Amino acid sequence: MSLITRCKVCATAFRVQRAQLSARGGKVRCGKCGTVFDGVAGLVEEGAELARMEPSPQLGLFDPSRRAAYAGAAQGRNAGIPVDETPLPPFLLETEAPSRSLLWGVLAFFAAVALVAQAAYRYRTEVAALVPEARPGLAWACGLLQCQIPLPRRPEQMSIDSSDLQADGRSESVIVLNAVLHNRAAFPQEYPSLELTLTDDADQPVLRRVLAPADYLEPDRAALISQGLAPGAEAALRVRLDGSRSRAIGYRLYLFFPR
For residue 139, tell me if it sits in a domain: yes
**Which of 76, 93, 110 corresponds to the end of one domain?**
93
Q: What is the 3-state secondary structure (H, E, C) of 157-199?
A: HEEEEEEEEEECCCCCCEEEEEEEEEECCCCCECCCEEEEEEE
For position 21, what pLDDT does the model report? 76
For residue 58, tell me if it sits in a domain: yes
The CA distance from 221 to 235, in Å, is 9
For the entire predicted model, the pTM comes to 0.48
For residue 150, tell me if it sits in a domain: no
The CA distance from 156 to 136, in Å, is 27
- For residues 120 and 141, membership in a common domain is answered with yes
Q: What is the mean pLDDT of each run of 10 residues along the chain (259 residues)?
A: 80 80 80 83 66 47 48 44 46 54 86 83 74 77 80 91 86 86 91 92 88 87 82 91 77 92
- For residues 105 and 174, membership in a common domain is answered with no
DSSP state of 35: -
For position 233, what pLDDT does the model report? 94
For position 196, what pLDDT does the model report? 93
For residue 132, the enclosing domain spans 101-145
Beta strands in the chain (DSSP E): 2-6, 13-17, 27-29, 36-38, 43-44, 158-167, 174-183, 193-199, 205-211, 234-242, 250-256
